[in-house]
Structures are given as C-alpha cells and as structure tokens.
C-alpha cells in the first residue's frame, strides 16, 4: 500500500527504513522522500513509526 502518493513510497519501504534505523518522520523523509512534497503522508508515517516503537517496547 502506498504511504506517499507524491513520491510513490510504499508502507514496505517505510518499514525497511525503520529496520535500517529511522526513528523519526524526518529520517524517513531523508531516506525515501516521503513527506517532502505535500506532507499529507506525514501522519501515516508517524503512525507506522509509533506502531513499530510499540512493538519493540512490548517485546
């Protein structure tokens, strides 16, 4: 599923960035470009980051 339509960034690509160490929406943007244009996807990116953080802290 696309997270960022402007840059055609998928949810899988965001998860890959997180696996590579991204912890903020800015770090995801720097790696993929997502959120760099209209920024409507920043909330989605933040939600994915939060879910991944919750998974790590609950494990």
Number of domains in the chain: 1
The residue range of the domain holding 15 is 1-56
pLDDT by residue, tens only, the chain of 59 residues: 999 999 999 999 999 999 999 999 999 999 999 999 999 999 999 999 999 988 877 76
pTM summary value: 0.89
Q: Which residues does 13 contact at the CB level (< 8 Å), separation at least 6? A: 3, 32, 34
Residue 32, domain CATH: 1.10.10.1100
Around Cβ 25, how many Cβ atoms within 10 Å? 20
Q: Which H, E and C letters describe the chain, residue by residue?
A: CEEECCCCEEHHHHHHHHHCCCCCHHHHHHHHCCCCCCCCCHHHHHHHHHHHHHHHHHC
């Amino acid at each position: 599923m696309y997270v960022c339509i402007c840059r055609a960034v998928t949810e899988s690509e965001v998860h890959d960035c997180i696996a590579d160490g991204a912890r903020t929406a800015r770090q995801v943007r720097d790696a993929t470009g997502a959120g760099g244009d209209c920024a409507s996807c920043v909330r989605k990116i933040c939600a994915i980051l939060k879910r991944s953080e919750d998974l790590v802290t609950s494990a």
